[in-house]
Copies of this chain bind each other. A is one copy, B any other.
Amino acid sequence: MDQDEAEMTEAQEAARHASARTARASALMQDYVELIDDLLSSTGEARPTDIARRLGVSHATAIKTIARLKREGLAHSKPYRGVFLTTAGHALANEVRARHRVVVDVLKALGVPPEVAEIDAEGIEHHVSDATLAAFEKFLGRG
């Protein structure tokens, strides 16, 4: 009994950590997709150099990650042309942006200074599950 209970708790803890690891792994892809979508809407094009500058990484890093985005079916591009999102990529961008806004709003509602809310939300948003997002929306009176 105690044995089983202990093992349950242990398995649950392992699962929690596994979830966190998965979220960490997909966080970068989400950041790229969200930014590319922003650039496409605001300027009509998403160039590797701009993406790199906005993310604070070298252009080589951005290009490699874009290649991965393409491998995963989220983006497409031709050499020396800009980057574009697939339908899946665009949908992901919308989800991510919605989540980002809700997280920022919740933080601000809890009394976190706006600039800090933006910074922290950048990391937090990737770990907010659908259930938590729903609770956040309800709390904000949008449920």
Contacts and interface: CB of A to CB of B under 8 A. Distances in A.
B107 A120 contact: no
Q: Kindly report how many copies of this chain are found in the complex they form together.
A: 2
A1 interface: no
Interface of A: 10, 13-20, 23-24, 27, 31, 53-56, 106-107, 110-113, 116-120, 122-124, 126-129, 131-132, 135-136, 138-139
Contacts of A56: 13-15, 17-18
A127 B110 CA distance: 16
The binding surface of chain A is classed by DSSP as helix
Given A20-B123, A27-B20, A123-B20, A10 B53 contact: yes
A135 B111 contact: yes
9 contacts: A14-B53, A15-B119, A18-B56, A20-B122, A24-B123, A111-B135, A113-B135, A119-B129, A123-B126
